[in-house]
Structure 1
Amino acid sequence: MRIRTDFPRRVVVDDVWIPTRDGTRLHARIWRPVDAEVDPVPALLEYLPYRKDDWTAVRDAQRHPWYAGHGYASVRVDLRGSGSSEGVMVDEYTEVELADGVDVVHWLAEQPWCTGAVGMFGISWGGFNSLQIAALRPEPLKAVVTACSTDDRYDNDVHYIGGAVLGIDMPAWAGTMQAFTARPPDPAVVGERWREMWKERLDAAEPFLATWLSHQERDAYWCHGSVCQDYASVDAAVLAVGGWADPYRDTVLRLVENLPGPVRGIVGPWAHRYPDIELPPGPAIGFLQETLRWWDQWLKGRDTGIMDEPLLRVYLQDGVGPATAYPRREGRWVGVDAPPSTRRVIPLSGLGTSALAEPDGTVVVRTPQHTGVDAGRFFPFGNPSDLPPDQRAEDGRSVCFDSAPLAEPLPVLGRPAITLRMSCDVPRANVVARLCDVAPDGSSTLVSRGVLNLMKRHGRDRATPWPPDQVEDVRIDLTATGYVLPAGHRLRLAVSTTYWPWVWPHGEEATLRIDTAGSALRLPLCEDGAPDGQRVTFDGIVFDEPEQAAPLEHRPGTGGDGPERMVTHVVDTGEWTVAVDPNYGGTRVFPDGLHYTERARETYRIRADDPLSATASSEWHIDLSRGEWRASIHTVTEMTATYDDFVVETLLETSDSDGVVAKREWRHRIPRTSA
């Protein structure tokens, strides 16, 4: 990592209030060249609910001053009802949030230090709303850099996957946001009214989880903010960035294929992180320098050559043994000038199987409920226990189809898919597919996976029960990957009916019967001189080394008091428990004396023989203090289900130096319409 302090332009920092159309004010921090009012510059906006004064302060210091030093006004704004901004926050990506964002874009463009051109950037939430605000077409917004984001709020986010409820992140993220939205504004910013503003937030608090579970199909709620509903609405230039270890990587491929305006994509080996941050899996790249090429091209009108790059630059990872973290993934950068397309079709009947065929030639799949405990984290953040460990135990709980040892390396690039000709004995069921790299020693490395809620096989917008024992063809799309299976290894397809805690089980166990003769695996391959005319560039794709501004001077606080991830099994009851510390790293002591501490634990329990035993809980403790001032937040979110309903119980407790500020409890019962 190279730390820069010698920027072309000297930087000044201002904290300001930005008014919105209804008079609510958003708090912002602006880094800009000191002479920008004489020599105006374009503005770059990062717009988040995560608190610029503490939670993102370390990350903000790495990039905003860097952009300002290179001739931009780099602006960090807290969403309405978050950080020190006024108002309340009631959900993700609301119409109010997006309208506020449009107001901010126009306000920035009108400032005397701004040329009138604005760009937006962000990772995750900030990447989401950058695309969503671009779809509203505020005139000054000319370019976007969106990292680790989605164009599909329903089927490629923390709520649903393949039409199935995400057991691992739907309740956990709801619990996280319950705690995050309950944090008070900073008295050092808003003064004596901090407690009044905090009380307003607490009075407006409602559990997000109940809302999300009330929309189990793709309806108007999810279509709002999903750019995939109308790609043509985005005419800003978009640089889309993702990582093979991040759950949003498919979005990059969809955006470069569907956006009508200028677009380029980059996918590296990374987790849910900006690509200049040196955390596993690496290698990191000079991401700030690369984005500067994008901004200069579209906000300053300079030809930086970035549009001469291939449509997609992707990191093709070498095959490796299983590990929960890789400091560096070996591989190479390649460029492709069209989205990867599926070309090789492998019939399942041509693969060896771990299951005995039935008399009619079908293969039976009925897996225990704890299949999936070795799935790893849904959102890898670069932590030691993020990635899936050796998949041998998971493979043993699944039905596997293996190739012969490969005679030559197999470079997979894009989204694999499987088609299954199958029947099911119950109306509601899930099917899960995993693609693994099996080494000669038997170790199994997860390459890709996919999920399908069979109730959504005819469309995510409807619920279609399976007629018992009727045979149908279904397609399961797996997540995109860039991975080279080595010669001598086997390709394994593992199929299961369960995947806890990633996927919430339906209310009864299911048995699938697969006709292997009518089923196939479809692989997208990365080959030079491919028959469909796709050009692949194997040389000349290079990036600068990572570079950032000087780090924020702060002290890390004490970490969690237990393992980051622990799986336990009670043999006599058959109960399996996955306990997780999300380890977001927010515990710090800041230069202004603010002590910020967070402790969280997610717990997932299920019995191997009972889908209705599934329980997911998330508990948070957050403490803030400076001198005599203190504020504490404690939340508990627990989700269970009967055959007919989801049951959500939520607790919110807050206190300050004078005692309890609020205590609220909710209990919601939501009918299971299709999940």
Structure 2
Amino acid sequence: MVVAVLAALAAVLLAPASAHADTGSASRGTVRHGLSQPDYSYADAIREAVWVDTGLDGDGDGRTDRVAVDIVRPSEPAAAGRKVPVIMDASPYYSCCGRGNENQLKTYDAAGKIVQAPLFYDNYFVPRGYASVLVDLAGTDRSDGCVDVGGPSDVQSAKAVVDWLNGRGRGYSARSGGHRVTAGWTNGKVGMIGKSWDGTIANGVAATGARGLKTIVPISSISSWYDYYFHQGAPLQDGPEWLSDYVESDSAHASCAAAQQKIIDGSPRTGDWTPFWTARDYVKDAGKVTASVFAVQGMQDLNVRTKHFGQWWQALAAHGVERKVWLSQTGHVDPFDYRRTDWVPTLQRWFDHYLLGVDNGIQKQPMADIERTVDHWTTDRVWPPAGTHTAALSLTPSATDGLGTLGTKHATRGSTESFTDDPNLWEEDWAAAADTATPAKTAFTTGVLTKDLRLSGGGTFTVTATSSTTSAHLSAVLVDLGPATVRNFLGNGEGIKTLGTRSCYGESTPGDSACFLDTAADTTTGDHTVFSRGWADLGHYASLAHGVPLVPGKPYTMTIQLAATDHVVPAGHRLALIVAGTDGGLILPPDTTPKVTVDLAHSVLRLPLVGGTGALSVRAGAAPRTTAAAADGTTAFRPAPAPSGTPAARLG
């Protein structure tokens, strides 16, 4: 048996003082210091495959689809007649792409029973009295049906399994035919977990109000698929048909042409909101969520951006859902790979409470853990923290065109700033030249801060602008101007580097090791940090339902949503708002190359500041350095490279 010494130590150290030293009952094994103990053998666990009927016929073959469900569960409770809860990860990635930092795939023995279950959930939690359930979404791996990219088929793939686990669905011993199989071994309490698409499905199932789903742990997960492909009309990447084609099994490729065409027809690249997106919007159904939610998000995730977390969190809060959050400085990274020794016991305590009923106080602990600087975490009792209020900041011009001031003073009527869209540049180019007048952006900065300024939540930028052409895309970027060492979220590891050593979490078998490659923070030091951004197509100023051609020279007003974050701009630094066109590598350019003029008197930045407007305190007379651009628009600053690959290619 290989047991993680570090995890065990962390479990003891992090146990709440009020937790009972030990308990036991007929429904669970030993509990010590508020945590379930590894009483059961992973080597002797029961491994089985079941195919669950979804009630849908996505591939149109005349029979309802069955999704493959691989199960690893402890044998001892089954022999004693005790029922166990379920930790479930429903994924499209088990055969095409792999899960986790090591891209683990499912493997099987000659009888078709699972040998390697990716990630540590089975190794760690099965000995502690849980069943690990891994579901292949419809159209992937060993499942029937077709991938529909977050739509009814995807969600029903997992919901049908929750229903089966609670005695409401039908399971079979084979993909076609076989005998009926029931889940009499479980108490029906299900927790769903997963990163990216996997966690997205957890959001989707929770939004159906599925009975028996007690908690979800979505990690860097989508809350509305429109917002993955567009941001207020501005296209972020190619359409969803690419993604469905990428994960579909060979058999699905052969039978899902009609379903693929429906995806293409339902998601035109116009940026218009269609019924296709309504069916993939989980935020609107947040009122149906009865499961608790432990959300995890990388604040520098440029793949599944923090808008997804922010709008989901806000909707859950409005409906009183029990929730918790971890916010890291990483990109699209699992907490197992940036805070492992804290993550595992915290996750265990969460599951123990909501699935085993252990009274360990997890729900009373601080709601939010936030990575304030690299590997340094702070907590908040609630999030956003008490005292957070929206502050309105105005934009005023300076003596240098293209540069202005951000503060509480209002611009005079008729004040404007202009820029010309340049799709070859992106936010890092703009931020590096924040104090330099360049043709492709305009920047507004505060004076030097005399005290820390904390932003907590999602802001907005209401802009009144005219375009010289019939189309224009807008970007609004918040920048912390000042030296800092941060996680290198633009690097290959998106803020982590993988080491050659391993640490173990749970028990191993010859085919499924509980030992995973260790990681460490990958850091970089610079003179600026982009920490929030938002984009929009000005043609969608009136409605997402239908974009319109712009009338050149006519002013339009639009409010751009800025991604949720929690960032402290330290005293001695400055806060900047950069307004520009195409954020190269992150949004696609419009079909024209406009010159955009911003009406400063009718534009306003609203930010969630801890302490409200009074928290903004700047040093009097501290003017930023300004530099004129060269004739070709270049500056002495060295721009960072644009991110490689499209977000679609990096979803997992």
Report the Cα offset of residue 286 of structure 1. 2.5
Report the Cα offset of residue 411 of structure 1. 1.8
Structure 2 SS opposite 1:47:
strand
Aligned partners of 2:300 and 2:331 also within 8 Å: yes
Q: 1:579 to 1:422 in 2, by over 3 A?
A: closer
Distance 2:5 2:428 in 1: 36
Q: Is 1:32 equivalent to 2:86 in the alignment?
A: no
Q: State the match for 2:155 in structure 1.
A: 98
Aligned partners of 1:252 and 1:267 also within 8 Å: no
Report the Cα offset of residue 337 of structure 1. 4.9
Taking the TM superposition and a 5 Å limit, the aligned residue runs for 1:170-189 are: 170=238, 175=242, 177-181=244-248, 183-184=249-250
Report the Cα offset of residue 221 of structure 1. 0.8
Q: Is 1:298 equivalent to 2:354 in the alignment?
A: yes
1:607-644 deviation digits (Å, cap 9, x = unpaired): xxxxxxxxx9989xxxxxxxxxxxxxxxxxxxxxxxxx
Q: State the match for 1:451 in structure 2.
A: 535
The amino acid across from 2:334 in the alignment is: Y
1:572-627 deviation digits (Å, cap 9, x = unpaired): xxxx9989765xxxxxxxxxxxxxxxxxxx6xxxxxxxxxxxxx9989xxxxxxxx
- Gaps (5+ residues) in structure 2? 9-36, 56-62, 106-116, 168-182, 405-411, 485-525, 615-631
Report the Cα offset of residue 370 of structure 1. 1.1
Greater percentage in strand: 1
1:489-534 deviation digits (Å, cap 9, x = unpaired): 222211112222321222112222222233232222235xx799xx
Q: 1:122 to 1:372 in 2, by over 3 A?
A: same
Residue of structure 2 aligned with 1:417, choices 446, 449, 460: 460
Q: 1:337 to 1:94 in 2, by over 3 A?
A: closer
Q: State the match for 2:422 in structure 1.
A: 368
The amino acid across from 2:479 in the alignment is: C
Structure 2 SS opposite 1:349:
strand
Q: 1:2 to 1:344 in 2, by over 3 A?
A: farther
Taking the TM superposition and a 5 Å limit, the aligned residue runs for 1:444-483 are: 444-483=528-567
Report the Cα offset of residue 285 of structure 1. 5.6
Report the Cα offset of residue 3 of structure 1. 6.5
Distance 2:351 2:457 in 1: 28
Aligned partners of 1:434 and 1:494 also within 8 Å: yes
Distance 2:447 2:573 in 1: 8
Q: Is 1:265 equivalent to 2:325 in the alignment?
A: yes
Distance 1:99 1:32 in 2: 23
Q: State the match for 1:249 in structure 2.
A: 306
Q: State the match for 2:606 in structure 1.
A: 522
Taking the TM superposition and a 5 Å limit, the aligned residue runs for 1:496-535 are: 496-527=580-611
User: TM-score, normalising length from structure 1?
Assistant: 0.66
Q: State the match for 2:90 in structure 1.
A: 47
The amino acid across from 2:445 in the alignment is: D
Aligned partners of 2:424 and 2:584 also within 8 Å: yes
Aligned partners of 1:122 and 1:146 also within 8 Å: yes
Report the Cα offset of residue 8 of structure 1. 3.0
Q: Is 1:164 equivalent to 2:222 in the alignment?
A: no
Report the Cα offset of residue 90 of structure 1. 3.9
Distance 2:7 2:96 in 1: 22
Distance 1:370 1:271 in 2: 23
Report the Cα offset of residue 209 of structure 1. 5.7
Structure 1 SS opposite 2:165:
helix
Q: State the match for 1:637 in structure 2.
A: none
Structure 2 SS opposite 1:36:
helix
Q: Is 1:71 equivalent to 2:139 in the alignment?
A: no
Report the Cα offset of residue 482 of structure 1. 1.6
Residue of structure 2 aligned with 1:489, choices 573, 593, 597: 573
Q: 1:508 to 1:493 in 2, by over 3 A?
A: same
Q: State the match for 1:153 in structure 2.
A: 225
1:49-102 deviation digits (Å, cap 9, x = unpaired): 1115972336823222212122211111111221122x2424212323323322
Distance 2:206 2:398 in 1: 46
Q: 1:9 to 1:271 in 2, by over 3 A?
A: farther
Distance 1:119 1:412 in 2: 32
Aligned partners of 2:423 and 2:584 also within 8 Å: yes
Higher relative contact order (CA 8 A, sep 6+): 2
Q: Is 1:431 equivalent to 2:474 in the alignment?
A: yes
The amino acid across from 1:162 in the alignment is: Q
Tell which deviates more after alignment, 486-495 or 514-523.
514-523
Q: 1:440 to 1:16 in 2, by over 3 A?
A: closer
Aligned partners of 2:197 and 2:222 also within 8 Å: no
Aligned partners of 1:44 and 1:75 also within 8 Å: yes
Q: Is 1:234 equivalent to 2:289 in the alignment?
A: yes
Residue of structure 2 aligned with 1:131, choices 192, 196, 203: 203
Aligned partners of 1:431 and 1:495 also within 8 Å: yes
Distance 1:53 1:135 in 2: 27
Q: State the match for 1:346 in structure 2.
A: 393
Q: State the match for 1:223 in structure 2.
A: 278
Q: 1:440 to 1:338 in 2, by over 3 A?
A: closer
Q: 1:316 to 1:296 in 2, by over 3 A?
A: closer
The amino acid across from 2:378 in the alignment is: R
Aligned partners of 1:240 and 1:255 also within 8 Å: no
Report the Cα offset of residue 140 of structure 1. 2.1
Q: Is 1:16 equivalent to 2:56 in the alignment?
A: no
Distance 1:204 1:461 in 2: 23
Report the Cα offset of residue 163 of structure 1. 1.8
Residue of structure 1 aligned with 2:214, choices 142, 150, 169: 142
Distance 2:641 2:596 in 1: 27
Taking the TM superposition and a 5 Å limit, the aligned residue runs for 1:613-632 are: none
Aligned partners of 2:369 and 2:377 also within 8 Å: no
Q: 1:90 to 1:332 in 2, by over 3 A?
A: closer
Structure 2 SS opposite 1:218:
coil
1:177-225 deviation digits (Å, cap 9, x = unpaired): 43332x54xxxxxxxxxxx777546897669566533573222211113
Distance 1:331 1:292 in 2: 19
Q: State the match for 1:276 in structure 2.
A: 336
Distance 1:249 1:178 in 2: 26
Distance 1:359 1:345 in 2: 18
Distance 1:335 1:395 in 2: 43
Structure 2 SS opposite 1:238:
strand
Aligned partners of 1:353 and 1:402 also within 8 Å: no
Structure 1 SS opposite 2:77:
coil
Distance 2:437 2:126 in 1: 51
Distance 1:121 1:518 in 2: 45
Q: State the match for 2:382 in structure 1.
A: 336
Figure out how many residues of one structure are paired with residues of the other and give that number: 501
Aligned partners of 2:385 and 2:610 also within 8 Å: no
- Gaps (5+ residues) in structure 1? 185-195, 319-327, 376-387, 533-568, 583-601, 603-615, 620-675
Structure 2 SS opposite 1:29:
strand
Q: State the match for 1:596 in structure 2.
A: none
Q: State the match for 2:172 in structure 1.
A: none
Structure 2 SS opposite 1:276:
helix
Structure 1 SS opposite 2:547:
coil
Q: 1:423 to 1:140 in 2, by over 3 A?
A: same
Distance 1:53 1:501 in 2: 26
Report the Cα offset of residue 303 of structure 1. 2.4
Report the Cα offset of residue 143 of structure 1. 2.0
The amino acid across from 1:361 in the alignment is: S
Aligned partners of 2:413 and 2:601 also within 8 Å: no
Report the Cα offset of residue 154 of structure 1. 1.1
How large is the RMSD of aligned CA atoms in angstroms?
3.9
Q: State the match for 1:613 in structure 2.
A: none
1:353-391 deviation digits (Å, cap 9, x = unpaired): 65279995311122322121748xxxxxxxxxxxx9956
Report the Cα offset of residue 232 of structure 1. 1.1
The amino acid across from 1:163 in the alignment is: G
The amino acid across from 2:163 in the alignment is: H
